Amino acid sequence: MEIATKCPICESLGNAVPVYPSNVDETSFSTEIFSARRLPDRRHYQWVRCNKCTLLRSDPVLDVDLEKLYVESTFDYSTEVDGLKKTYFNLVKRALGGKKFKKSIFEVGGGNGFFLEAAKDGGFATVAGVEPSTEAIKAARVDIAPHMIASMMKAGVLADNSFEVGTMFHTLDHLTDPVSTLKNCAAALQTGGVFVVAIHNERSWSARLMGERSPIIDVEHTHLYTRKSGEALFKKIGFIDVRSGAYNNHYSLAYILHLIPISRSFRKRVLESPIGTLLSKIKVIVPLGNMWVAGTKP
Ligand SMILES: [Zn+2]
């Protein structure tokens, strides 16, 4: 069944212009497609741009049990975890500005909790993860696993007013109801606490260059943000001192190849060959069109 979606920022229903037509059918929904870091195959719903606030959203969408798909999703970050740990830890430091928080931090949708490893190793005393995939939690480091909660982020999953920092990396753009998830995240923060997300920037050079063939134009993404619409969403939640910025990724050349819109079978062959192994060892810093948005709980 098709469901019309509403803009989460201005709450318009309709009042949008089509940008890319849908190419989705029932076979687009498998556990594999909803697993982190899979090979992008660019199935997507119709994308429309809100006339009022310019947010890009999937509309309409199919009636799919996303929670079930994410609970059953498998986990495969392979060789990129070290680069992602460095990337995310650095961007949180930047997003916190001068704030010297080291007591408590939580993460929503963090897979096996690799970022929480970086946070703990970087000096945070208390860490907590909220992650629906039980497979991912099973793969968590032994000192992180006891602090992971197998759930979607809902009211009451984390205690109210209890964390200095909250984080969500490349999860916000997957949510069907980003407003309620962000409100639940804000509730878990102490007054003065900071929430940080990392998301794609749909107006970045790479997104503009690739257009519909960009890996971000995908059935998994329900909304795609710019710095302006990302900040507008944070302000709607009630965050103050809302800021955003671009960040660069530390990635291997193998991961870059995985993102390029060429034949999926060709990419798979190269990545599984000795050349793929070599490419996975060469690390580069790349501006992939990602950004962070941060806000403070008043
Ligand atoms: Zn709107």
Output 203 or 272, whichever has higher pLDDT. 203
Q: Report how far residue 104's alpha carbon sits from residue 110's, in angstroms, rounded to the nearest whole number.
A: 16
Output 111 or 32, whichever has higher pLDDT. 111
Share above pLDDT 70 across residues of the chain, in percent, rounded to a whole number: 87
**What is the CA(14)–ligand 1 centre distance, in A?**
9
Q: Note residues around ion ligand 1 (Cβ under 5 angstroms).
A: 7, 9-10, 12, 50, 52-53, 55
**What is the CA(273)–ligand 1 centre distance, in A?**
45
**What is the CA(6)–ligand 1 centre distance, in A?**
8
pLDDT of residue 73: 64
- Decide: 194 and 240 in contact? Cβ < 8 Å: no
**What is the CA(181)–ligand 1 centre distance, in A?**
18
- DSSP-derived letter for residue 225 is B
Lowest-confidence range among 62-71, 152-161, 211-220?
62-71
**What is the CA(8)–ligand 1 centre distance, in A?**
7
Domain holding 283, by residue range, is 2-296
Q: Which of 82, 84, 74, 79 is nearest to 107 (CA)?
A: 84
139-151 pLDDT tens trace: 999 999 999 999 9
- The total domain count for the chain is 1
The pLDDT of residue 37 is above 50:
no
Lowest-confidence range among 16-20, 69-73, 79-83?
69-73
Lowest-confidence range among 58-67, 124-133, 143-152, 184-193?
58-67
Output 285 or 222, whichever has higher pLDDT. 222
81-123 pLDDT tens trace: 888 898 899 999 999 998 999 999 999 999 899 999 999 999 9
What is the average pLDDT across 23-40?
60
What is the average pLDDT across 126-147?
94
**What is the CA(27)–ligand 1 centre distance, in A?**
30
**pTM for this structure?**
0.84
**What is the CA(230)–ligand 1 centre distance, in A?**
12
Give 113-117 contacts, CB < 8 A, sequence gap 24+.
Answer: 113/137, 113/140, 113/141, 113/144, 113/145, 113/147, 113/148, 114/77, 114/81, 114/84, 114/85, 114/141, 115/84, 115/85, 115/88, 115/89, 115/167, 115/169, 116/144, 116/147, 117/85, 117/141, 117/144
**What is the CA(44)–ligand 1 centre distance, in A?**
20
The pLDDT of residue 32 is above 60:
no
If pLDDT is split at 50, 70 and 90, which confidence band does 15 have?
very high
What is the average pLDDT across 252-276?
74
**What is the CA(9)–ligand 1 centre distance, in A?**
5
- Extract the tokens encoding 8: 């989460």
The pLDDT of residue 28 is above 80:
no
Lowest-confidence range among 39-43, 90-94, 207-211, 232-236?
39-43
**What is the CA(151)–ligand 1 centre distance, in A?**
29
pLDDT of residue 159: 97
**What is the CA(293)–ligand 1 centre distance, in A?**
18
If pLDDT is split at 50, 70 and 90, which confidence band does 17 have?
very high
**What is the CA(243)–ligand 1 centre distance, in A?**
20
**What is the CA(259)–ligand 1 centre distance, in A?**
29
pLDDT of residue 27: 64
**What is the CA(233)–ligand 1 centre distance, in A?**
10
The pLDDT of residue 245 is above 80:
yes
pLDDT of residue 265: 76
Q: Which of 26, 186, 170, 183 is nearest to 106 (CA)?
A: 186
Classified as helix, coil or strand, 102 is: coil
**What is the CA(13)–ligand 1 centre distance, in A?**
8
CATH at residue 77: 3.40.50.150
Summary mean pLDDT of the chain: 86
